[in-house]
Chain A
Amino acid sequence: MPRIRLPAVANWFTGTGEDFRLLGTRCSDCASVFFPREDVHCRNPGCAGGALVEVPLSPHGRVWSYTDGRYRPPSPYVSDPELPWRPYTLIAVELPAERIVVLGQAVPGVTVTDLTVGMDVRAVPGVLYEDAETTWTTWHWRPVEVRT
């Protein structure tokens, strides 16, 4: 039986392929943008607090910094202890329109040697892990042009 696809975290992203977007919220009063989404109250201390409206974030950004995890992270990160650990790459990306830096894993196969600060990257759908019934989905950052 094929696995069903479910987001690893609810309402943080939407869409597939070219239409994939991270989802934040925007204050209808002061226009501050929040990711992860803020649904209760605007966190701008100078704002009386308007309604928070869901808003897709820009799909493109620039690498603010990057690193990798050479050791298996502890739970609740899900990984198969039977398999050798494969380091993953983390990228912090600055979205120019929102002026926000968002952390994410790079698409599998991208290593730190492929990256430079300032490089253009794009948010794409990815898989965090799979269990018997479910493929748990997430966001990944993909360099727009991977250097060879």
Chain B
Amino acid sequence: MTADVAVLGVGMHPWGKWGHGFVRYGVTAARAALADAGVEWRDVGSIVGADTVRGGYPGHVAGATFAKALGWQGARVTSVYAACASGAQAIGAARAQILAGLADVVLVVGADAAPKGFFRPAGGERPDDPDWLRFRLLGATNPTYFGLYARRRMAVHGDTLEDFAQVKVKNAAMGALNPYARYRKRVTAEEVAASAPVADPLRLLDICATSDGGAAVVLSSLEFARRHGAARPVRVRAVSTVTPRFPNTVLDLPDIATDSAAAVAPAEVTFRASIARAAYEEAGIGPGDLSLAEVYDLTTALELQWYEDLGLCGEGEAAKLLREGATAPGGRIPVNTSGGLASFGEAVPAQALAQVCELTWQLRGRAGGRQVPGARVGITANQGLFGHGSSVVAVV
């Protein structure tokens, strides 16, 4: 186990398609997080930005951009990129600086203004780039990978389209209660079934949109938090940012093939499960200790996959867990009380931070109509393109 760091403040800019630049979203979120923490920007010793994503690769440098927009004050600056996992990497970098004694207070910011339509690779002729090749040779958009995973679950575990739709119904009901969500309307299973097919077996309402948004977190040492008057702050207890282990046997974006397991036996658990396992080990907890989880529901079917990868149930039992209501409000382990990506859409570098914002509000008991009674331990889970694990455990 590593030492904890305190979450002094969190803030977000509402998700949507606002037509502004990412800096505006990030600065709005940063100012909200600083106000929530009761910390002045000039007293922040370090800023870590999660870079925007363009065509699968880093877009704009975030750390210095936000520092400049907030007003240069000489802070230590860091920018990180790990695609969808960028926010967790930013928290990981901030935590390391605090635990190493390099900074007392670190501001972590992620924001993006997402382009319309499918995510597409960077331009030009780049036949040495797997992200370019999968579009060129196969037309394999992100939703087609999601379709492969969903069909595989149906074939192997017996999940149904109705199960997938019920994930959307559950998350939309929570998103309707979240002022930062983009979609704040309940959705019915009939509406999911009537939406346009995108990548068999998935329909439009099974798949998350691309959104604008910004999220920020102020972290500090526990000693600073005490001096600052935060006697019992929410604490980050683990940050998992692991890679896969060779051979990685689950087809992963943007790859055209898995590793071969002919010469080396695969690890006991898949990459996604190993992300959570590393977080649990670092935090010294197990799935039975969780009050809630925020998982990366790029699709309805992927949310079910995360139930198993987090160990909330056995392999193949996710749909049963959902049907029992265990992951709904009032259930044994509510999942995506924020409304999830189903209600937010994805603002890539902000999304893993938004998950931590939700944990923080829940653990403070300030999540309003979404509150999980007596929440004490929460986990986030996410996976970034090219092999980036992402999971944060927060406790109070």
Contacts and interface: CB of A to CB of B under 8 A. Distances in A.
A32 interface: yes
Contacts of A35: 256-257, 260
Given A43-B259, A117-B152, A105 B138 contact: yes
A36 B256 contact: yes
Contacts of A68: 144, 147, 199-200
Contacts of B139: 69, 73, 77, 79, 88, 90, 105
Given A36-B256, A65-B151, A98 B262 contact: yes
Contact of B257 (A46, A88, A97, A100): A100
Contacts of A112: 200
A66 B200 CA distance: 8
Nearest to B119: A74
Contacts of A147: none
Of the listed residues B123, B141, B144, the one surrounded by the most CB atoms of chain A closer than 10 A to its CB is B144
A8 B144 CA distance: 21
Nearest to A73: B139
A101 interface: yes
B259 A100 contact: yes
Chain A interface, DSSP helix/strand/loop, else mixed: loop
Interface string A46-71: 10000000000000000011111111
Contacts of A69: 139-141, 143-144, 199
A36 B147 contact: no
Of the listed residues B132, B140, B247, B255, the one surrounded by the most CB atoms of chain A closer than 10 A to its CB is B140
Contacts of B257: 35-36, 100-103
B132 A100 contact: no
B151 A74 contact: no
A100 B137 contact: no
B249 interface: yes
A76 B251 contact: no
Contacts of B121: 76
Interface string B125-152: 1010010111111111101100111111
Interface string A18-58: 00000010010011111110000001111000000000000
A69 B137 CA distance: 13
Contacts of A83: none
B100 interface: no
Given A44-B246, A67-B144, A67-B199, A74 B120 contact: yes
Given A64-B251, A117-B152, A73 B135 contact: yes
Given A103-B256, A104-B138, 12 more contacts: A33-B262, A65-B155, A67-B147, A67-B150, A69-B139, A70-B197, A77-B136, A99-B261, A100-B260, A101-B249, A101-B251, A105-B139
Interface of A: 8-10, 24, 27, 30-36, 43-46, 64-71, 73-79, 88, 90, 92, 97-105, 112, 116-118, 128, 138
- The 8 A-B pairs of least Cβ separation, nearest first, read A67-B147, A117-B155, A73-B139, A74-B120, A99-B261, A65-B152, A33-B260, A100-B260
